[in-house]
């Protein structure tokens, strides 16, 4: 097809086979339809996510193959009204390739899929493929604390609007001040830093079990003496001396994330899970837990340190294999739900308390990440954002 016959003069224009013409026309038409679809979807996002904050429905996520950890964390993000209010104001990437690799946008589309229709569960396939482009492995068992940090960093990095990045930091980032003081002289170093989670040990230095979440918090902020191999060089003394290291709490975000360090390394370099019981409260007042010496904040800041439990990411199984699920309190109906991949059901507080742990049941569910929400949010104070 497309060839001349006899002595007919060849056209100076390059010939194109009819099939190629048809394919080109089809491609142009598809591009037009894709452009219309994208524009329509982008226009729809504003209206859909204006209502998403009010619906806040419990929709499951299908397991794509060891994606229970990702599913649990996505549910915690997307059930947080304060987070979705930030998410629905992102800048939509201009090109299809940019949209495919943009984590905030793909998370936004997943939320749209969860909010539209009456499906009991949806698949996070596009978001998972997007994460794989950022070297987040699929079909492997993840650590929830590490994956939470990875997701948060990708969200912060790809949100182009500075005001949204600031809101995201205000929503999750913790500010602390570290003090390191020489015990031989008056030399002292102070430095501020931020943390996404407070990594709370569940054992003390002598491997004794800490009994409650409040004990873990107090132990985390308890001063530690740096001796022996841990001694530091003192500029004033001119040699290594014993130092006292302590941390003081400066600022707490609206969503406070506590990481219970239930996985520890044994001498054999094997990771071991600590499953003993560790109760945590529904209401947490940091003013009642920490002492004055453990805080570096004024009264107006500390007045907002009253929290209610919002979500629990729990792990069942051993350190080498297991399963994650999330218990989340809806911010609209104040009821607790268990998100176990595609299965979602309403539960009671007694069901949530079952994640306290129990030593004699090795495979029992144990809380791993705790998310607390401020009862009385406060507007950012001047100077606070500098340390964030």
Query: Of these residues, 182, 251, 323, 338, which one is catalytic?
Result: 323
Q: How far apart are CA 24 and CA 336, in angstroms?
A: 54
Please give, one letter per residue, the 3-state secondary structure of 194-239: EECCEEEECECCCCCECCCHHHHHHHHCCCEEECHHHCEEECCCCE
Copy the structure tokens of residue 128. Answer: 């998972």
The answer to whether residues 208 and 202 touch, using CB atoms and an 8 Å cutoff, is no
Q: Please say if 295 is a catalytic residue.
A: no
Question: How is 236-257 classified by DSSP, letter by letter?
Answer: TTTEEE-EEEEEEEEE--SEEE
Instruction: State how far the Cα of 323 lies from the Cα of 293, in Å rounded to an integer.
Output: 40
Contact partners, residue 255, CB within 8 Å, separation at least 6:
80, 82, 83, 171, 172, 310, 371, 372, 373, 374
- What φ, ψ does residue 190 adopt, rounded to 5°? -120, 140
**Dihedral, 322, 75, 135, 270 alpha carbons, nearest 10:** -20
Q: Which one of 68, 130, 182, 234 is the catalytic residue?
A: 68
In which residue are the tokens 């979440």 written?
213
| Cβ-proximal residues to 126 (8 Å cutoff; 6+ apart), any chain | 100, 106, 109, 110
At CA 277, angle to CA 307 and CA 199, rounded to 5? 50
Query: What does the alpha-carbon distance between residue 327 and residue 348 come to, in Å, rounded to a whole number?
Result: 10
Q: What are phi and psi of 324, to 5 degrees?
A: -110, 145
E-only strand ranges, the chain: 60-61, 121-122, 174-182, 188-195, 198-201, 224-226, 232-234, 239-241, 243-251, 255-261, 263-265, 271-273, 283-285, 306-317, 322-329, 336-340, 343-347, 366-374
Known catalytic membership, residue 323: yes
Which amino acids are annotated catalytic?
A: 68, 323
């Amino acid at each position: 097809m497309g060839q001349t016959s006899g002595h007919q003069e060849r056209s100076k224009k390059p010939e194109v086979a009819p099939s190629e013409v048809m394919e080109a026309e089809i491609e142009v038409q598809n591009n037009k339809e894709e452009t219309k679809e994208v524009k329509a979807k982008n226009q729809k996002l504003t209206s859909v996510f204006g209502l998403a904050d009010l619906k806040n429905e419990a929709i499951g996520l299908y397991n794509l193959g060891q994606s229970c950890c990702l599913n649990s964390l996505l549910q915690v993000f997307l059930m947080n009204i304060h987070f979705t209010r930030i998410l629905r104001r992102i800048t939509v990437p201009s090109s299809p390739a940019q949209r495919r690799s943009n984590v905030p946008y793909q998370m936004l589309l997943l939320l749209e899929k969860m909010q539209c229709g009456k499906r009991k569960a949806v698949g996070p396939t596009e978001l998972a493929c997007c994460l794989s482009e950022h070297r987040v492995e699929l079909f492997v068992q993840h650590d929830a604390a590490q994956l939470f940090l990875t997701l948060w960093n990708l969200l912060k990095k790809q949100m182009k609007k500075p005001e949204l990045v600031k809101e995201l930091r205000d929503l999750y980032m913790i500010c602390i001040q570290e003090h390191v003081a020489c015990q031989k002289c008056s030399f002292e170093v102070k430095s501020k830093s931020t943390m996404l989670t407070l990594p709370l040990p569940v054992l003390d230095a002598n491997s004794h079990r800490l009994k409650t979440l409040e004990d873990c918090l107090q132990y985390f902020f308890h001063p530690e003496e740096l001796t022996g191999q841990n001694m530091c060089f003192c500029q004033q003394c001119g040699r290594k001396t014993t130092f006292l290291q302590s941390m003081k709490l400066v600022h707490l975000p609206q969503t406070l994330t506590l990481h219970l360090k239930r996985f520890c390394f044994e001498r054999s370099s094997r990771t071991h899970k600590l499953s003993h019981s560790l109760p945590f409260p529904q209401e947490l007042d940091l003013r009642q837990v920490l002492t004055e010496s453990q805080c570096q904040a004024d009264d107006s800041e500390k007045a907002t340190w009253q929290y209610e439990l919002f979500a629990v990411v729990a792990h069942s199984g051993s350190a080498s294999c297991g399963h994650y699920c999330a218990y989340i309190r809806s911010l609209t109906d104040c009821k607790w739900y268990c998100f176990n991949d595609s299965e979602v059901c309403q539960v009671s507080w007694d069901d949530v308390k079952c994640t306290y742990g129990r030593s004699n049941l090795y495979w029992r569910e144990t809380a791993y990440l705790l998310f607390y929400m401020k009862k009385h949010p406060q507007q950012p104070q001047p100077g606070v954002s500098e340390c964030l």
